[in-house]
Amino acid sequence: MRKYGVRTSGTMFMFWFLRMFFGIIQLRTEVMENDKRPNAIGSGDTVDFWEYQYVSYILQYSLICLILVLELFPDKEPTFSYYPKSKNPNPELKSSFFAKLLFLYFDTFAWKGFRKPLTMEEMYDINPQDTSRELVPPFDKYWDMSVANGRKKQIAADKKAGKTNIEYKPHSETNGSSLYAMVRAYGAPFWFAGMLQLAISGLQFASPYLMQEMMAVIALDGPVWKGLLLTFALFAASLLLALLNGQYYYNTFLSGFRIRTGLVSAIYRKALRISSAAKKDTTVGEIVNLMAVDAQRFFELTSYMHILWSGVLIIALCVYLLYDILGAAVFAGLGVMILITPVSGVIATKMRDAQVAQMKIKDDRVKKMNEILGGIKVLKLYAWEPSFQDNILTVRKEEIGILKRMAYYGAGIYFTFTIAPFLVTLVSFAVYVLMDEENILDPQTAFVSLALFNILRFPLGMLPMMVTFSMQAWVSVKRIDKFLNSAELDPSNVSNNKSDEALTIKDGTFSWGDETPTLKNINLSLRKGQLSAIVGT
């Protein structure tokens, strides 16, 4: 691993940590058994053998602990690297697995920022693998693959439909898919975060189970060692859950950052290649919004995207465990949940429609602002500021009205997020008590049920919001795909040859898009430094 520049290994650290942790049991056994044996060495073969085994295990365990301590420090920096050296490298690159697990490399930076304001010179450089030079080529590669797949599907569909004159449309909206390119190019951290989310979802149920066992030990006056063991297990589960959550958010934010970088680069480069015909349907404001709003939406969405499936899994497990505790009363709470879900769905649909309308108005506003700023001299010369100001304010007023409506929809979703868990808990407990006189809310039933309801609270509230965010992201995907599939300038139309002529046109035909040619059979030659004038309408 050192040969390939790997300075620290999580596999090796976990191996030696588990050897050390589970070796404590044998260490305790060896120490206790050694105290029961004769102290005199040499009194017999049996004593010598057991003494040898005791000493050898102590040495072995000491070496294991020493190796574990050494794993806390990374190996030296490799002499060769594919990446160029940076002036202020990120300390994450030279941190051990343990430091990365706890984000210890960030403590010094946070302390420095606490003591004084940070400057740009003190900011760390981006990791080499997260720079645009490394992130853009994979996106371009899979985007081209997506376009090729779209071409095959389009031709196959035309053949199936029985068309004779099959003509490939190179810039159809269904050709390339930015979603496919994003998943293939930057999906590794996202899928790894999905595995972490699966572990987190299962680990969340450790606390209610351990709490139930602790309540049973207290009620039955069980042994002290069992209570201590359950307490330690509860602490270890909470600690492990915190560690997994930290790594989950780190990987999802990393994936979102890479997606945003790839999208912004693709949109910007596409804006430089787009044809004049396509520019009629695409404004500057729309291009700016694609980079500033639509690409940013994926960065914000990736952190909670896994809730769409893990939330359903957690809700199903919670309902199953609550049924085991409360019986059929849990279905009353489930009924409340089912009644609230359509309400959230309706609000989410209205919010999606409002978001589509808001983006169109925002594109129009940014377009007009760019035109005003571009012609500010003419506006000042003719004193047209009031009329253009009224025009912009009218568009802005309409946009604010939609934003206000979206705020109301967001408040409705947040209201359901807040009230749903309490209603489910209240209805379930009420029905449980009223169903049978023998149903008593003792501490064990109440505490364990509340713990499960507390787990149920987050996915129950986040699922409607995630449906809304997913709809907004889908709108952004369609907008980005439409732009990236727009027609481009043909590089073969222009050739750069060294000659005395600055511009040469031979049999040129010019038109706006697919319309009837405006100019036909144009032959023109302009020399360098020649004064030329074009007269006409």
Give the Cα separation of 401 and 195 in Å (integer). 42
CB 329 within 8 A of CB 438: no
* Angle of CA points 97, 98, 104, to nearest 5°: 110
* Angle of CA points 143, 310, 320, to nearest 5°: 155
DSSP three-state, residue 439? coil
179 contact partners, CB below 8 Å, separation of at least 6: 477, 481
pLDDT digit string (tens) for the chain, length 537 residues? 666 667 788 888 889 999 999 888 888 888 887 777 665 445 555 556 777 788 888 899 899 999 999 888 887 777 666 777 778 888 888 888 888 888 888 888 888 888 888 888 888 888 888 888 889 999 999 998 888 888 787 777 777 777 666 555 555 555 788 889 999 999 899 999 999 999 999 899 888 888 888 888 887 787 888 888 888 888 999 899 999 999 999 999 999 999 999 999 999 999 888 877 777 777 777 888 888 888 888 888 888 888 888 888 988 888 888 888 888 888 888 788 778 777 777 887 788 788 778 888 887 888 888 888 888 888 888 888 888 888 888 888 888 998 898 888 888 877 877 787 788 888 888 888 888 777 777 777 888 888 888 888 788 767 777 777 888 888 888 888 888 888 887 777 666 677 777 788 888 887 766 667 778 888 888 887 778 877 765
| pLDDT of res. 536 | 67
For tokens 């489910």, the residue is 424
List the beta bridge partners of residue 525: 504
DSSP three-state, residue 528? coil
Q: How many CA atoms lie within 13 A of 111 on its CB side?
A: 5
For tokens 């602990």, the residue is 65
- H or E segment at 504? strand 501-510
Which tokens hold the place of 488? 């481009």
List the beta bridge partners of residue 527: 501
| pLDDT of res. 171 | 54
Handedness of CA 90, 195, 239, 420 (dihedral sign): positive
Give the Cα separation of 287 and 283 in Å (integer). 7
Task: Please provide the DSSP assignment of 86-105 as one string.
Answer: -SS--GGGG--HHHHHHTGG
CB 284 within 8 A of CB 271: no
CB 442 within 8 A of CB 429: no
Give the Cα separation of 438 and 327 in Å (integer). 13
Backbone angles phi, psi at 78, to 5 degrees: -65, 150
Give the Cα separation of 282 and 10 in Å (integer). 49
State the SS3 of 130-152.
HCHHHHHHHHHHHHHHHHHHHHH
Give the Cα separation of 237 and 455 in Å (integer). 14
Q: Within the chain, which residue ranges are assigned CATH 1.20.1560.10?
A: 178-484
* Angle of CA points 209, 211, 214, to nearest 5°: 115
526 contact partners, CB below 8 Å, separation of at least 6: 501, 502, 503, 504, 532
CB 460 within 8 A of CB 424: yes
The rounded Cα 433 to chain-centroid distance in angstroms is 43
Q: Which residues of 147-169 are buried (b: 16+ CB within 10 A; e: fewer)?
A: beebbeebeeebeeeeeeeeeee
Q: Which residues of 89-115 are buried (b: 16+ CB within 10 A; e: fewer)?
A: bbeebebbbbbbeeeebeeeeeeeeee
Q: Where on the phi/psi map is residue 521: left (φ > 0), alpha (ψ -120 to 50), or beta?
A: left
| pLDDT of res. 40 | 46
Could you tell me how many helices (H) and strands (E) the chain has, helices first? 16, 2
- Of 528, 522, 524, nearest to 501 by C-alpha is 528
The CA–CA distances, whole Å, from 242 to 199, 239, 461 equal 12, 5, 21
Give the Cα separation of 64 and 26 in Å (integer). 13
| pLDDT of res. 265 | 92
CB 98 within 8 A of CB 72: yes
CB neighbours (10 Å) of residue 518?
9
Domain 178-484: top CATH class: mainly alpha
Helix, strand, coil percentages, rounded to 5, for the chain = 75, 5, 20
| pLDDT of res. 47 | 54
The CA–CA distances, whole Å, from 3 to 6, 7, 90, 439 equal 7, 9, 21, 66
Handedness of CA 198, 199, 202, 204 (dihedral sign): negative
